[in-house]
Amino acid sequence: MNSYRHNNNKGRGILIFVTIIVVLLFAIDLFSRGSIRALVRTGATGMWEIGRETGDTIFGSGFFSSRRSLAQKNQALQDELSQLKVRSAAFEVLKTENESLRRIVSIVEEEDGITAPVVSSFKTSPYGTFMIGAGTEDGVQKGDLVIAGDPKFGGFVIGRVDDTDAYISLVKSIFAPGEITDAVVRDIGVSLEGRGGGQARGEIPREALVSEGDVIVSASVGARAIGIVGEVGKDSGEASQRLYVSLPISLSAIKFVYVVDK
Amino acid sequence: MFSFKNVYIRAILVFLGVLSVIFWSPWLVLIPMILLALLFRSWEVLLLGLAMDFMWLSGASIFPLPLFTLTALILVWGLEPFRNQLLV
């Protein structure tokens, strides 16, 4: 009984000690402007790279050949489909937003940007964030826009740099859960609420003519494209119709992004 | 009570938690956190929650709220009376 009480008190003591450490770490990080976060992120991205390379090695070794080949074919087809969707959406931009696209292209050609690798998973963050392998040392600043796809054809803005370390930046997705973005589709203003995973939802007037594949543009990101209409839902008796927006690019297929000034 | 079985279970849950923080869905992090908090007086739960927020939460400030750290604190201290019953 005494032994149990001793262990019980010891366990409780460790718990109190670690709780104090956690609070202290949080306070130190707060006052040092995220120095501990930077260390954690650097370590974690290193582990993510090792994990990804290990996964590639194991699955590329032929051990899981039949399943692997099917998965590869599936992935290749998905990538091809994503690319076709991007091209289709880009041509749609050319057709429907001719004037603004000219402006966008000229902006993109004029402005400097850098290519950065994606160094984390897109699906792990509960806050709709992901990490890229470029930071303040590469000229990345808080608020910079992160573009997927070929920026010469407009690309799609997928996020905004939210936190920068020396070599790693945290990007908040445009469609992070709960994130509100004002956008325009076919000259109709729409307020989009992010749902995570590159998807968002909004409402437009019932009589508005919007169809699947229409490009969504937002002035808040320099009149660039942020997604396409995935589905339009219309219930009888409702004054509005629901707009389901998605990115035409599979997030898991994105290996590199383009970072431009805000 | 000390047993190697408990140590193994605890280590595996912590390992799964770390993997979840870096590679998997955020909901999968909660499973090892809850199991650890239920089965053991586990300080690792606090570190998992803190790691999750340090990694994925932007800005070194109180807001937005560090949800996983707060969840970890609630799990560890909120379940203390219940765990006392289980451990006795």
Query: Could you give the CA distance from residue B42 to residue B78 in angstroms, rounded to a whole number?
Result: 13
Q: Which residues from B are below 8 Å from A25, CB to CB?
A: 50
Q: Which residues pair with A189 in a beta bridge?
A: A184
Q: Taking an 8 Å Cβ-Cβ cutoff, which residues of chain A contact chain B?
A: 4, 7-8, 11-12, 14-15, 17-19, 22, 25-26, 29-30, 32-34, 36-37, 40-41, 44, 47-48, 51, 120-121, 123-127, 129, 162-163, 170, 172
Cα dihedral B4, B83, B66, B25 in deg (nearest 10):
50
pTM above 0.80, yes or no: no
Return the structure tokens found at A112: 């400097």
Quick check: A50 pLDDT over 50?
yes
The tokens of A113 are what?
Answer: 């940007």
Q: What is the predicted ipTM?
A: 0.82
**Block residue for tokens 């010469």:** A152
pLDDT of B27 reads 85
Question: Which amino acid is it at B74?
Answer: I
| In contact, B73 and B31? CB cutoff 8 Å | no
Cross-chain CB nearest to A30 (options B25, B61, B76):
B61
Mean pLDDT, residues A35-60 taken together: 81
**pLDDT, tens only, A98-122:** 555 455 455 555 557 888 888 888 8
- Taking only Cα atoms into account, the Rg of chain A, rounded to an integer number of angstroms, comes to 23
pLDDT digits (tens, 9 = 90+) for B36-76: 888 888 888 999 999 888 888 887 666 778 888 899 999 88
Close Cβ partners of A71 (under 8 Å, ≥ 6 residues apart): A59
CA dihedral B48→B50→B53→B54, nearest 10 degrees, is -110
Please give the average per-residue pLDDT across A238-247, as a whole number: 84
Structure tokens at A120: 């984390």
